[in-house]
Amino acid sequence: MTRRRIGQACAGVALVGGFCVAQTAPAQAAAPDYPVGGSASGYASWVSTPDANPPGVNVPCTPSAAHPRPVVLLEGTTSRITHSFARIGPLLADQGYCVYGLNYGDTQLTASTGGVIGAMGDIPTSARQVSGFVDKVLAQTGAAKVDIVGWSQGGGPLPRYYLQNLGGASKVDSLVGLAPSNYGTSFFGVLSLIGAVQNATGVDFLSASGAPAFDQQLNTSPFTKALNAHGDTVPGVHYTVIETRLDDVVTPYTNAFLKGPGATNIVLQQQCPLDGTDHLGIIYDNNAIQDVLNALGPRVPNFKPSCQAALPLVGTPGLGGLPG
């Protein structure tokens, strides 16, 4: 995939070989070339500037005929968009997409950590934030619908609640989830144990501490059961789940998968045996990002990415874009 670079501009004429040359038709502006981050820059920006936007994200934009739907990025639990989408955000923008992202679900933990810890609030409340944000993106861009790309909570229960309960299905064409917690998680039994203690004591200390989203993502939680009680997809929306067998947060990893009509479930290791990424590294995994691009369009059936080695925590090592 070729990334397009921004060129110098001449007043009313084109720059050719370093000289301004008049042409019979105006030259078409090239798409921006935003710096693409990796895990190191993503984690660093998360700590140093947690409210920053990744390059190319939340930049005023008019959708093109090739990419008529803006992409809305939704972070994972505890994260911020500057970390969750340090690689995906600029790559999508460089491909010509209008890209927007939202930091949602702030709680007292967000304030007490200087804005670092986010996406911990009550999921239905966060979904209402997403609803308002999508409406603003549609109004600003003039688009009829958006696509959503999310990680963990942001790719599963949060946008699915919006689609099911807040009228989002009429405004969203595709939901692409990276390691989403669609059927909740036991976190290797740890969250299940916490839930049992809370039930026994009658004290919901996760919610009291500013982390109700943890409670709600339990595989046994009332929220998770209600979300999936009447089917896990909504007609008219395309769903793509991209998951790693080595997911160490959504456990078992199969809890990421959707069962309803319109859903495509992808296991990275079936596409690329070199892929050793986990839950935290998948957002920097170029194999997974190629699947994201295919899910946004052209949606080639049985698509397989150009296989690259990927590691836990860091995904595809280093900075940079996708294979050419």
pLDDT value for 319: 81
Decide if 74 contacts 149 (C-beta within 8 A).
yes
CB 323 within 8 A of CB 306: yes
* Domains assigned to the chain: 33-296 (3.40.50.1820)
Per-residue model confidence (pLDDT) at position 211: 85
State the pLDDT at residue 207. 59
pLDDT, tens only, 207-218:
556 689 988 999
- How far is Cα 96 from Cα 106, in angstroms, rounded to an integer? 30
Q: How far apart are CA 156 and CA 183, in angstroms?
A: 9
SS3 174: strand
CA 75 to mean position of chain CA atoms: 6
- Judge if the upstream peptide bond of residue 252 is cis by omega within 30 degrees of 0: yes
Q: Token pair for residue 53? A: 């936007």
Query: Are residues 282 and 288 in contact, defined by beta-carbon separation less than 8 angstroms?
Result: yes
How far apart, in whole angstroms, are the C-alpha atoms of residue 223 and residue 210?
Answer: 17
Contact assessment for residue 230 and residue 260, using Cβ atoms and an 8 Å cutoff: no
- Give the pLDDT score at 35: 94
Dump pLDDT digits (tens) for 231-245.
999 999 999 999 999
SS3 146: strand
Q: What per-residue confidence (pLDDT) applies to 323?
A: 79
Whether 45 and 39 have beta carbons less than 8 Å apart is answered as no
What pairs with residue 266 in β-bridges?
A: 242
What rounded mean pLDDT belongs to the chain?
Answer: 87
How far apart CA 150 and CA 172 sit, in angstroms, is 13
The DSSP code for 310 is B
- At 12, give phi and psi (nearest 5°): 80, -5
Give the residue ranges of the chain where pLDDT is below 70.
Answer: 1-31, 187-210, 324
Whose CA is closest to 1, among 318, 296, 302? 296
Q: Give pLDDT, residue 192.
A: 54
